[in-house]
Amino acid sequence: MSTEDTQACACSQVPVEQIEKAAVLAREGAKPEQLKGTRSGPEEKRLQGHWLLAKMGKRVLRPGGMEMTRRILTNAAPIPSDRIVEFGPGVGKTAELLLAAQPKKYWGVDVREDADNPLLDVLKGHEDAVLINADAKATGLEDGCATLVVGEAMLTMQSDADKMAIMREAFRIMAPGGRYALHEMGFRPEASEQVTGDVEKNLSRTIKVGARPLTLAGWEKLLRGAGFEVEYCTTNKMALLEIRRVIADEGLRGFLKFVFNVTRNPAARKRVLAMRKTFRANQQFICAVGFVAVKPA
């Protein structure tokens, strides 16, 4: 079947009204986000896993939860004299913690630009906090401008080459003695190479974005390769969608809101349950890993 045939088949499954609505919006010069949900059924079917969870009201989108974020930040110890860069701040849950330290400057760097992002509310009221719409590989920030760089659940979705490019960018924008705090998905040491390949495929298929965790040793090797010295590391269970963790991360009210939103949206419910099933099926091989690395003075 040719590409065109495939497209025609996909189109034939979309209700005519939806195609007409998309055509009208496109003719009127609508922005891509206004066309959401018109490509092939509800956008909940296609959204990357973390944005689907965020759309359902979840604000903590990293594998080791707030519990591990706190541990990492206790070690990275943000203080008022810090100039902080956060890579991939998502909807701003960690930005809240970082801004509570009243740093001199905060830059969030995210590839996604979304006028409804709750992060923008978090930044409001902090004169020296800005969001830059850029790739963490090339932030456009000056050499040595930061004393603390933080990144959570944003490297795992990159290839090894891009992981390294982002770490090198963290190194470049950091002043000597600066700290790099990371929180990512990891493979347990007992996961064989054959297993890790299968797990990556299963995770990526379900969350609809590449998932490429590394072992603790693998992450450390990359950090050293980028020039950092690892000062602290920690691990936690990967329990992003387990009830106990969701309540711990979002609070009871946030948990109920999330469950309410997911329950009344069949497409989202199907995806979220599939994600949880895949996480559970691979539980024995995956975990959350955290580091604080330092740029030598």
Ligand X SMILES: C[S@@+](CC[C@H](N)C(=O)[O-])C[C@H]1O[C@@H](n2cnc3c(N)ncnc32)[C@H](O)[C@@H]1O
Query: In the complex, which residues of this chain contact ligand X (CB under 6 A)?
Result: 50, 60-62, 87-90, 93, 109-112, 135-137, 152-154, 157
Q: Which is nearer to ligand X, 87 or 171 (CB)?
A: 87
Closest distance to ligand X from the beta carbon of 98 (Å): 11
Identify which of residues 45 and 208 has a Cβ nearer to ligand X in the complex.
Answer: 208
SS3 (DSSP) at 231: strand
**Minimum distance, C-beta of residue 278 to ligand X, in the bound complex (Å):** 15
Under 8 Å between Cβ of 207 and 199: no
21 or 126: CB nearest ligand X: 126
On whether the CB atoms of residues 212 and 158 are closer than 8 A, the answer is yes
Helix H or strand E encompassing 52: helix 49-55
Looking at the Cβ atoms of 22 and 183, the one nearer to ligand X is 183
Burial environment of residue 102 by CB neighbours within 10 A (0 to 12, 13 to 18, 19 or more): middle
Question: In the complex with ligand X, which residue's Cβ is closer, 96 or 220?
Answer: 96
CB 125 to ligand X: min, Å: 20
Strand ranges, E, within 224-266: 229-236
| Distances from the Cα of 31 to the Cα of 27, 41, 118, 138, 142, angstroms | 11, 18, 20, 25, 32
- Would you mind telling me the total number of residues written for the chain in this entry? 297
Residues 6+ apart with CB under 8 A from 292: 72, 75, 76, 179, 180, 181, 182, 230, 231, 232, 233
Compute the 3-state secondary structure of the chain and give helix, strand, coil in percent, each to the nearest 5. 45, 20, 35
- Name the minimum Å distance from CB 72 to ligand X: 11
C-alpha–C-alpha distance, residues 32 and 26, integer Å:
9
To the nearest whole angstrom, how small is the minimum distance from the Cβ of residue 184 to ligand X?
A: 9
Q: Cβ closer to ligand X: 67 or 135? A: 135
In eight-state DSSP terms, residue 238 is -
Q: Based on CB atoms, which residue is closest to ligand X, 61 or 174?
A: 61
